[in-house]
Structure 1
Amino acid sequence: MVPFLNAGRLSAALSYPILIEALRMAFRKGAEAPRRHVHPISPDNDAVLLLMPVWQPERHTGVKIVTVAPRNPQRGLPSVHSMFMLLDSATGAPVCLMDGEELTLRRTAAASALASGYLSRPDSSRLLVIGTGSLAPYMAAAHCTTRPIRTVSVWGRSTEKAAGSADLLRQQFEGSGIRVEVAGELEAAVRQADIITCATTSTTPIVQGAWVQPGTHVDLVGGFRPNMREADDALMCSAAVFVDTWNGALAEAGDLVQPMETGKLQRAALQAELADLCAGRHPGRDNPAQVTLFKSVGAALEDLCAADLAWDHHQGQPID
């Protein structure tokens, strides 16, 4: 029987320091990863099916199956359900099934933290988390791994949900000395932040460029379709913009697609993808006053990297 690694096992296997370094190596090495398939399931509720294949011929192949149903929170259910299958590249035989949601949450947060290591100021101490979904605590934990964060603020459209997320973070950071607070007014919170991580399913801009102060790093992870937006045109056109992968971001990120379609943002103005940062082909942040922005839509390479780590941990193999 093919083993199944549940969320608890993945959590134990994929600590952020190890996963971040593994992703750095994976982006340097690369993998074969066709652009993901996106299929509408039901136009009545905006539900979609995502298929993300990836392989490295010398070891493993993987495919992630994801469903996203934005209206699920109204039903008391998560917006995202997912499963990841790891296969042997030589034989095609199934190796392992894994909880795709936990895998995705951890690798998404780790990829943003990896990018932050190149793009945020090394002395960044105030983190603003925008969004109160399942990804929020993962983003906070990963960013706090990379930078000396002392204060985490949480903002959501629902004050009640923001307070709940803040309570979870207080438990998560207990004994660390990190202070967690609920942000009352979004503009003020944005103006005070050194790093802003935004994980929402918004279709209208939330972060306004006029609010973002010099030296801030903005991390946009929520939007994965051309009709989704988390930042306004002013921010997208004034920041030094980096992406996880060109193929994914230029096709799927509304924060890029929309201002490029109107001519406000030029393709030549975009700086680099994450592989360029990891390989040293781009130095990242230029100066302490620069506003940097990382836009990710998710990369199958990240899934395979995390799955390999989890499988090695399950097998009792050493992780370098």
Structure 2
Amino acid sequence: MRSIGADEIDAALTPDRMIDALATAFRAGATAPTRHHHAIETAPDGASLLLMPAWTADYVGVKILTLFPGNPARGLDTIQGGVLLCDGRDGRPLALLDGARLTLWRTAAASALAARHLARGDAAQMVMVGSGALAPALIRAHAAVRPIRDVAIWNRRREGAERLAASLAAEGIPARPVTDLAAAVGEADLVSCATLSTAPLVRGAWLRPGTHLDLVGAFTPAMREADDAALLRGPVYVDTPDALGKGGDVAVAIQSGALAPAAIAGDLAALCRGEAPGRRSPDEITVFKSVGAAIEDLAAAAAVWESLAQRS
């Protein structure tokens, strides 16, 4: 069994390759049982274990993640883990891949895949809300599907936005830190949020006609990145139906009665299969909410494996 680290994953993938791999996976489908989430009662800091299995005729995979909230004080990332990829024909373990890096790639690719169907074709002005590990991956992925010419980065702590803007500028990506989120959103064609906020950051009243809103953080019902008004400005799409109960923005709006489950316009599978309309007009505001799915992990792991196999 091969061990595939973060650097090898980066070398094996491009945004286009990862986005196309997800599109193929969502069109074809996969078996993905309910994810398992367990508290680790022996840990001192409220740690938990997450298991996300999925399989097709070609591959079987499971992502194994641990979340230890006290890790930053130890100089470690909160999330640790890996994705085990097995042969779907005989069950042989093929590879263990770095889970954190693979998650960055597939999460960003899922948002870009949605934007391929939902953002205006000429979307050039992007706002990135948050400056964590996901932010640069989201910016690169969106730039692969839309002609992004300017990225405004907002973060609660300005220095985080400044660091990310400088890093992206060194790559040739035009990015700048901003402090006025409302003004930045009001000028944006595409707004992507990847935070752990527990209160809405983006207001529906700020969105101009034609904007696409991408909500990536808020992965529990206790979190929010956008208010109810934002979700009511246009059709809401999700990565999978799990987002209706687990994604803070959509789940809270449904629980409060502000948003009806029947109002969800579709998911990535429906978009990729042509069963959902996607963007219907240049002025339409669209919303996408993701919480992550095992089918994405499986597709990402398989894409890395096949890319490396082609090179050997």
Q: TM-score, normalised by structure 1?
A: 0.92
Q: 1:188 aligns with which of 151, 164, 183?
A: 183
User: CA distance change for structure 1 residues 272 and 46 in 2, over 3 Å: closer, same or farther?
Assistant: farther
Residue 60 of structure 1 corresponds to which residue in structure 2?
59
In structure 2, C-alpha distance between the alignment counterparts of 1:240 and 1:104, rounded to whole Å: 26
Which residue in the other structure is 1:211 paired with?
Answer: 206
- Structure 1: 5+ residue stretches without partners: none
Contact 2:215 2:289 in 1 (8 A): yes
Distance 2:256 2:18 in 1: 38
Corresponding letter in the other structure for 1:282: A
Task: Give the C-alpha shift of residue 101 in structure 1.
Answer: 0.9
Q: CA deviation at 1:295?
A: 0.3
CA positional deviation for 1:74: 5.8
Distance 1:215 1:71 in 2: 42
Gaps of 5+ in 2: none
Aligned to 1:297: 291
Q: How does 1:51-200 map to 2 (within 5 A)?
A: 51-56=51-56, 58-69=57-68, 72-73=71-72, 76-172=75-171, 174=172, 178-200=173-195
The amino acid that maps onto 1:96 is: A
CA gap of 1:170–1:122, structure 2 versus 1, over 3 A, is same
Is the alpha carbon distance of 1:46 and 1:170 closer, same or farther for their aligned partners in structure 2, counting shifts above 3 Å? farther
Contact 1:127–1:151 (CA<8 Å) still a contact in 2? yes
Structure 1 pair 44–129 and aligned structure 2 pair: CA distance change class (3 A): farther
Alpha-carbon contact 1:70-1:201 (below 8 Å) kept: no
* SS of corresponding position for 1:95: strand
Q: Measure how far apart 1:52 and its partner are.
A: 0.5
Indicate conservation of the 8 Å contact 1:104/1:303, yes or no. Answer: yes
Per mean C-alpha deviation after superposition, the further-off stretch among 188-197 and 80-89 is: 80-89
Q: CA deviation at 1:305?
A: 0.9
- Counterpart of 1:239 in 2: which secondary structure? coil
Give the counterpart letter for 2:19 in structure 1: I
One-letter code aligned to 1:67 = T
In 1: Cα distance, 2:73 partner to 2:118 partner: 36
The sequence identity of aligned pairs, in percent, is 47
Q: Using the TM superposition, give the Cα deviation of residue 70 of structure 1 relative to its aligned residue in structure 2, in angstroms.
A: 5.1
| C-alpha distance after superposition, 1:60-86 (max 9, x if no partner) | 100001123456556554332221100
The structural deviation recorded for 1:317 is 6.4
SS of alignment partner, residue 232 of structure 2: helix
Q: Secondary structure at the match of 1:92?
A: coil
Question: When the two structures are superposed, what TM-score results if normalisation uses the length of structure 2?
Answer: 0.95
Flag as ranges the 4+ runs of structure 1 deviating above 6 A: none
Deviations 1:226-273 (A, max 9, x none): 211111111112221000001x11221111111111111111111000
